[in-house]
Chain A
Amino acid sequence: NAGVTQTPKFQVLKTGQSMTLQCAQDMNHNSMYWYRQDPGMGLRLIYYSASEGTTDKGEVPNGYNVSRLNKREFSLRLESAAPSQTSVYFCASSARDGRNEKLFFGSGTQLSVL
């Protein structure tokens, strides 16, 4: 019953450090997403992957890279962290039925960049 699993749950970085957020889903979904959540701004899409082997930019891709390693796993990398990247990051996968798309979310990674 795992669903979408994200690691780590918390992380503190210094400006300029790099890190990778990991995400895996066990629901055999084709599409996966990375969002960031900031107070008063809702969820903003960073990158998404419509299927294994493809990735595309979302609304706020600058400063991030992604890898769709296989159908299950979709990682998000910060090459040189900046304080503006302090946020809560959510990974999601989706089940699509025609134009109806239901997202399933992980529990989030709280990232602080000092």
Chain B
Amino acid sequence: GEDVEQSLFLSVREGDSSVINCTYTDSSSTYLYWYKQEPGAGLQLLTYIFSNMDMKQDQRLTVLLNKKDKHLSLRIADTQTGDSAIYFCAERSDSWGKLQFGAGTQVVVTP
């Protein structure tokens, strides 16, 4: 499949905003997703965005999509210790028809 890339680590102070970035290469991507994995658990869907949208807001989460640059970001406002987890970006494209995941970004929230 095509590549989905993320930075591996992000450290953020409690109360600050976190921004996790992701780039992808498949131009036929239709939906893009953010999943959260807490220690010892499986992945949970956080949010998703359709490729014809630029932005989606869901409570403390804001997803921005720049389709021209194939860049996706997830902003978490007022980051809490419970937000410490690994965040995975994934894209679903017409070319493969299944989700392609990035390597995950470990977010550590410090008091």
Please list the residues of chain A having a beta carbon within 8 angstroms of any beta carbon in chain B: 4, 33, 40-45, 48, 58-59, 90, 92, 99-108
Contact = CB atoms under 8 A, between A and B. Distances in A.
B101 A101 contact: no
Interface stretch (B62-70, B72-80, B92-100): B92-100
Contacts of B102: 42
A99 B42 contact: no
A106 B48 contact: no
B99 A42 contact: no
A103 B30 CA distance: 15
Interface of B: 1, 4, 8, 30-31, 33, 35, 40-45, 48, 50, 88, 92, 94, 98-99, 101-104
B92 A99 contact: yes
Given A40-B103, A43-B88, A45-B98, A100 B50 contact: yes
